[in-house]
């Protein structure tokens, strides 16, 4: 089971806080897991492991100059996605029923007003299984499209050859989605996806903005916006595999530090 849980917040006071709350919100989520299952929490902290979850930053406001203005009556939200049955079950059955009434970021208190899994209630909420994602594309009778548009809704960067790559090159994007899919899914997709993406995908349109991302003492350049990939091949199987991974990106995110608010991703529309 894959989950995308949207948590809605209501500020209690007029204030300004740092716009980058990804680390704080990640710590909040991991604190909820630890309070229920310390052993599970320890597994989520393992070094050099692909994480079976993502955490967004604080969304819904208008960040300016690195700050986000809080206004009572103007709700904000953030979301957590989970990529394994065990973590999804823990969130559904133990975390959601016991959510706190308030959440504190820095010195500011927020009322936690709703926890949403239904995409009809929020466009960033959702539930699916790997089998459903795979069947929706691989078993479809419709002709797969040759274009895939992706929205990178928060700053995104890829680690490549020891450097940050602030552009969504096809091989980097699809390789990372494939790694997470094959790590957590019972339905394995072929490793040749990366080579196929490099050989047959081109960036045909983009509207991207570079953004400075700071993590403590570290600083690097990321990007946000939309990017359209065109597939220069007619093989329907490979087209369907690529569309399956693009659907999966809604849950797994893109690039580095997806557990700290970076790389929030979903399908876009031309």
Instruction: Please write the tens of the pLDDT for every residue from 56-79.
Output: 999 998 777 788 889 888 999 999
CATH node for 2-127: 3.30.70.1890
Within 10 angstroms of residue 253's Cβ, the number of other Cβ atoms is 31
pLDDT of amino acid 216: 67
In the chain, where does the domain assigned CATH 3.30.70.1890 lie? 2-127
In this structure, which long-range contacts are made by residues 218-222, counting pairs with CB atoms below 8 Å and at least 24 apart in sequence?
220/157, 220/164, 220/166, 221/157, 221/164, 221/166, 222/155, 222/156, 222/157, 222/164, 222/166, 222/255, 222/262
Q: Which helix (H) or strand (E) holds 175?
A: helix 170-184
Query: Which residue is it, tokens 């089971």?
Result: 1
In the chain, where does the domain assigned CATH 3.30.70.1900 lie? 129-267
Q: What is the DSSP letter of 146?
A: S
pLDDT at 119 over 70: yes
pLDDT of amino acid 84: 97
Instruction: State the fold for domain 129-267.
Output: Alpha-Beta Plaits (3.30.70)
pLDDT at 270 over 70: no
CA distances from 155 to 68, 130, 149, 258, 265 (A): 16, 26, 17, 10, 10
φ/ψ region of 60 (left if φ > 0, alpha if ψ in -120 to 50, else beta) reads: left
């Amino acid at each position: 089971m894959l989950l995308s849980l949207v948590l809605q917040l209501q500020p209690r006071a007029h204030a300004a806080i740092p716009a980058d709350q990804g680390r704080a919100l990640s710590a909040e989520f991991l604190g909820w897991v630890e309070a229920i299952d310390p052993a599970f929490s320890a597994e989520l902290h393992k070094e050099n492991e692909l994480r079976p979850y993502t955490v967004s930053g604080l969304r819904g406001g208008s960040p300016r100059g690195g700050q986000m203005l809080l206004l009572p009556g103007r709700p904000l939200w953030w979301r957590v996605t989970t990529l394994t049955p065990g973590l999804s079950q823990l969130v559904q059955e133990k975390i959601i029923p016991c959510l706190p009434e308030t959440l504190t970021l820095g010195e500011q208190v927020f009322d936690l007003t709703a926890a949403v899994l239904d995409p009809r209630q929020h466009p960033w909420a959702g539930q699916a299984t790997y089998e459903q994602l795979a069947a929706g594309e691989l078993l479809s009778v419709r002709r797969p499209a040759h274009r895939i548009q992706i929205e990178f809704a928060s700053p995104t960067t890829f680690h490549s050859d020891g450097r940050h790559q602030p552009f969504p090159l096809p091989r980097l994007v699809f390789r990372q989605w494939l790694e997470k899919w094959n790590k957590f899914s019972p339905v394995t997709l072929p490793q040749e996806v990366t080579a196929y993406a490099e050989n047959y995908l081109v960036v045909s349109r983009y509207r991207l903005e570079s953004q400075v991302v700071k993590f403590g003492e570290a600083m690097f350049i990321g990007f946000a916006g939309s990017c359209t990939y065109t597939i220069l091949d007619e093989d329907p199987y490979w087209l369907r595999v690529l569309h399956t991974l693009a659907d999966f990106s809604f849950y797994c995110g893109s690039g580095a530090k997806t557990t700290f608010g970076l790389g929030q991703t979903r399908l876009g529309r031309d």
